[in-house]
Structure 1
Amino acid sequence: MAPAPGSALTLRLEVPSLKSLYIEMYFGDTLLSSGTAFLVANDQSSHCTLITNRHNVTGRHQETDECLDKKYCATPNNIKIYFHKHPLDLGEWHCVKLPLYNEDRSQRWIEHPRFGASTDVVALNLKWGNDVQKFPYYLKTDLDRAKLVVRPAEPISVIGFPFGLSSTGHFPIWATGFMAQELGIVTPDNPTFLIDCRTRQGQSGSPVIAYRANTFTYINDSGKVSTNMAPGVVKWEFLGIYSGRVNSESDLGRVWHVSAIEEVLTAAEAAISKPLGQRG
């Protein structure tokens, strides 16, 4: 049987499995932590940037500013990102090491243009070579924004690397939970929502999607809610970036909505032409 539309044909993987990237944060050559990142772009012809959580690159708790590394009490100054190599069917990865600070000690990451350090979302601009394959989430197309209707208690997936684990190689693990609130109450000034999912360390920075197979409910071209039964067809809606649990005793997790990522991407695009010291 032919792979369903939306599948990665060469490896018979679902496309979202190709989009989550394993990352490691280092101080010098000392590994401090691991996490997840992914690429975003508006469409196939526009600027592509790396997105992850701010606390991954700062090495500090987003709310308390406490150092997250308890072994060395160190914060990272470089990051390793594992990209897919060409050709994809080899199932190999190319590791890119990137400094987190410029020579003048200014940060290389780009923060939210309105909320700055209070938003747990950052971008890193890279110079792209031919030695990696890019699989971004496209924010302005229906490839990753299928206009799916996602209601409370419906399934969502957090696709990342809990405890640095992977399914094989550096392919991610899908953790599935449920929407814990109405998406309709997300606002531009409060672009977060809650999910109920058993997530763990290492999944910070993971993309959160609603993945549907065979049957899906969506907003049609007339702006009305419609349900489509299409055997063998998969659709997904990119919802945002997972940031962590609300506390250590809860399975409730916070997700920064895709609208916040859109603003960070815009800032990353604008930062390309700025002098190094002005890119934070």
Structure 2
Amino acid sequence: MRNSPCTCGSGKRFKHCHGRHTNSSTTFKFPFNARFDQLSLSSCYLDLRANSQHIGNATGFLWRRNNDIYLITNWHVVTNRDAFTGKFLDGPIAPDTIQVHANLLHRQAAPSHQADNEHITYRQQILSAPVHNSHGEPLWYQHPQCSTTHIDVVAIPLPQTTSQSTDGIVCINDYNFSELMHFPGSDVFIIGYPIRATHEDDYLLPIWKNGTIAREPFAGWRKKPAFLVDARTSKGMSGSPVIRRVFGPSVGNNLTMRLDSVVTSEFLGIYSARLHDGDNMPSIGIVWWRSTIDEILSQPSIGERNLTWTTR
């Protein structure tokens, strides 16, 4: 795949174009009994770049569909514009490439004298996701109703994963999720990267920010497929996966009790941003339901930089 033409349309080979940053990887071998939560490994640090220069950071996660892998993040991350007002967020420069710090897992049998039966090797590799082609045309997919409902979610195909084995790449929908009952006040975790990575970070792992569902979750928000959370988040967490997690006995969405549960998790959606409220920004954030991902990939709509702007 690295010798194939780059998907951006430049005419160069992928390895000499948007794939030129994908050789960097970090491998860590932990003690045989070390275990990371797979949901930590599913959240990806995003290095936003324009003309090969760092212009910001955000969060995303990988989604497996058939033999393809997509980067899921926010529309405002790829355009640098507020999805509801159209205003530029950090000046007029938007990324042309996103360097995705993806996690890979490799399992192998442990020596028979060890108590655990397998070794796990964690590896982090940079995957390059071009945001637009050589003509400036967007390469991301957005929701078919994005232009009118401003659904702040995009899916970007990762070109270097389409012709090689992707078994080891950690995607969030590889996780065996349960379906829980949700109430206002239920705990959620927003798993992302509020802090910019530096050379001192040996292995990038996300921060788990705790919050609660802020209002009736199935009431929607302003006729949009979203719900609100009360959480103290930071700028770099845009695009973070939002997880509902219960420790101990839990209640399923069919109202059955699971008395023998230790930890039960459900992926709820994609964190977007905090709401604006006049001159301040309260700790109320928007989460787009996970169903928006399925709708984007079932009816992919080519990305747009200009929507039908409204005011909130």
Distance 1:120 1:10, change over 3 A: farther
Letter in structure 2 aligned against 1:26 = R
Kept after mapping to 2: 8 A contact 1:81/1:95 = yes
Whether 1:229 and 2:248 are equivalent positions in the alignment is no
Distance 2:290 2:218 in 1: 13
Kept after mapping to 1: 8 A contact 2:131/2:138 = yes
Distance 1:24 1:132 in 2: 24
Structure 1, 126-135 or 48-57: larger mean CA deviation: 126-135
Kept after mapping to 2: 8 A contact 1:216/1:228 = yes
Distance 1:204 1:279 in 2: 18
Distance 2:203 2:232 in 1: 23
Partner of 2:98: 79
Of residues 42, 46, 51, the one that matches 1:28 is 51
Partner of 2:211: 177
Kept after mapping to 2: 8 A contact 1:215/1:229 = yes
Distance 1:100 1:157 in 2: 28
Partner of 1:151: 183
Segments of structure 2 that go 5 or more residues without pairing to the other structure are: 1-31, 108-119, 305-312
Whether 1:162 and 2:181 are equivalent positions in the alignment is no
TM-score (norm 2): 0.72
Partner of 2:233: 199
Q: CA deviation at 1:134?
A: 2.3
Q: CA deviation at 1:189?
A: 5.2
Of residues 232, 246, 252, the one that matches 2:275 is 246
Distance 1:159 1:253 in 2: 14
Secondary structure of the residue that 1:225 maps to in structure 2?
coil
Q: CA deviation at 1:135?
A: 2.3
Segments of structure 1 that go 5 or more residues without pairing to the other structure are: 1-8, 272-277
Distance 1:229 1:188 in 2: 37
Partner of 1:135: 170
TM-score (norm 1): 0.80
The 4+ residue runs of structure 1 with deviation greater than 6 A are: none
Q: Give per-residue Cα distances to partners, 1:236-267, cap 9 Å, x unaligned.
A: 11111000100253000011111222211223
Distance 1:66 1:132, change over 3 A: farther
Secondary structure of the residue that 1:260 maps to in structure 2?
helix
Partner of 2:20: none
Distance 1:254 1:245 in 2: 6
Distance 1:164 1:151 in 2: 33
Partner of 2:138: 107
For the pair shown, the structure with the greater C-alpha radius of gyration is: 2
Kept after mapping to 2: 8 A contact 1:148/1:237 = yes
Q: Identity of aligned pairs, percent? A: 29
Secondary structure of the residue that 2:100 maps to in structure 1?
strand
Distance 2:33 2:67 in 1: 26
C-alpha RMSD of matched pairs (Å): 2.8
Whether 1:64 and 2:85 are equivalent positions in the alignment is yes
Letter in structure 2 aligned against 1:58 = T
Letter in structure 1 aligned against 2:72 = I
Secondary structure of the residue that 1:106 maps to in structure 2?
coil
Distance 1:47 1:189, change over 3 A: farther
Secondary structure of the residue that 1:113 maps to in structure 2?
coil
Kept after mapping to 1: 8 A contact 2:221/2:228 = no
